Amino acid sequence: MADPLVQSGKRKREEESESTQTPGPRGDKAAVGNGTAASTSFPFSGFRLQKVLKESSRDKIIFLHGKVNETSGDGDGDDAVVILEKTPFQVDQVAQLLLGSPELQLQFSNDIYSTYNLFPPRPLSDVKTTVVYPATEKHLQKYLRQDLHLIRETGEDYKNITLPYLDSQSLSIQWVYNILDKKAEADRIVFENPDHSDGFVLIPDLKWNQKQLDDLYLIAICHRRGIKSLRELTGEHLPLLRNILQEGQEAIQQRYQVREDRLRVYLHYQPSYYHLHVHFTALGFEAPGSGVERAHLLADVIENLEYDPQYYQKRTLTFALRADEPLLKLFQEAKKN
């Protein structure tokens, strides 16, 4: 959840195609200026577009790769990724768009129907901008549009293929520890259970600008370290999971007046970073990664572990991998053998 103005980018704005080997684009640096609305500038100079990595007309978002801090324009600068996203309408402000004489350009007119381009005033025309800087080759590949392949991972596959691969990677999650240790984003914490074993921190995901509830999105990050993902959960972790579900729902209802029956509470597998966390989103919001091939409802996870404490050690789990991911190649090679 890095602040959009911070050098290292987001937590998850997790895109559905997020790579399993790449941690969230936050990097290791502590966040600065969290929660501020003051004017600021990018943490680099210049931006020469290299490539459009990905774009979605449905989600009104585009991912750009550029060179920054160039001295001669011959590619000697640093790489950066800039993500531009149109923000949702705010109901309490939308009427201002039509007050007075808004700037319009007529595109089409026929009988009672007409279409215009409306140019909103500056306070209503902001574009959410997420910066990943400096960006590595992994970041560039992470955001590049790729074909997806569905994988069926058995418990043995996890032990013999996935876990050794994860252990071989340098997947820094220092930004997670910065949040848990209050070194970054402390002013954004909505709720905390400080218990080191069964507690967690609840914090808004930066995909949500907190100006409307339609796309509400928060993340619960557990204090306990060493739990990589859903696959490593056992009956031992039931107190932690129950706390996250119950206390997280209560905190959201108290802060935002959103009841538990209007929330989707789930875990990703594979996750975008390997420290156990849980997603809380508005039920009507089609959040990235909420599809059946990736999202596992927390209430179902709890019930499965109550039924069998080793459920996720043994169950075959389905997830999607991008065509360029080394883990996909490992699964394909194992299948040949």
CA 139 to chain centre: 14
CB-based contacts of 82, cutoff 8 Å, min separation 6: 47, 63, 64, 66, 129, 130, 131, 132
| Rounded Cα gap, residues 120 and 128, in angstroms | 16
| Rounded Cα gap, residues 219 and 275, in angstroms | 12
Q: Please check if 167 is assigned to a binding site.
A: no
Q: Please check if 278 is assigned to a binding site.
A: yes
Q: Please check if 236 is assigned to a binding site.
A: no
Q: Please check if 217 is assigned to a binding site.
A: no
| Rounded Cα gap, residues 230 and 27, in angstroms | 23
Q: Which is catalytic among the residues 139, 223, 237, 277?
A: 277
Three-state SS for 299?
helix
Is 296 annotated as catalytic? no
Q: Please check if 207 is assigned to a binding site.
A: yes
Q: Please check if 279 is assigned to a binding site.
A: yes
DSSP string of 63-110?
EEEEEES-SSSSS-SEEEEEEEEEPPP-HHHHGGGGSS--EEEEEEEE
Reported as half-sphere exposure (CB side, CA atoms, 13 A), residue 48 has a value of: 13
Token pair belonging to 130: 């997420």
Q: Please check if 163 is assigned to a binding site.
A: no
Q: Please check if 19 is assigned to a binding site.
A: no
Q: Please check if 157 is assigned to a binding site.
A: no
Q: Please check if 261 is assigned to a binding site.
A: no
Contact 173, 275 (CB under 8 A): yes
Q: Please check if 158 is assigned to a binding site.
A: no
Q: Please check if 272 is assigned to a binding site.
A: yes
- Annotated binding residues: 175, 185, 205, 207, 268-279
Catalytically active residues, by annotation? 277
- Annotated binding residues for substrate: 175, 185, 205, 207, 268-279
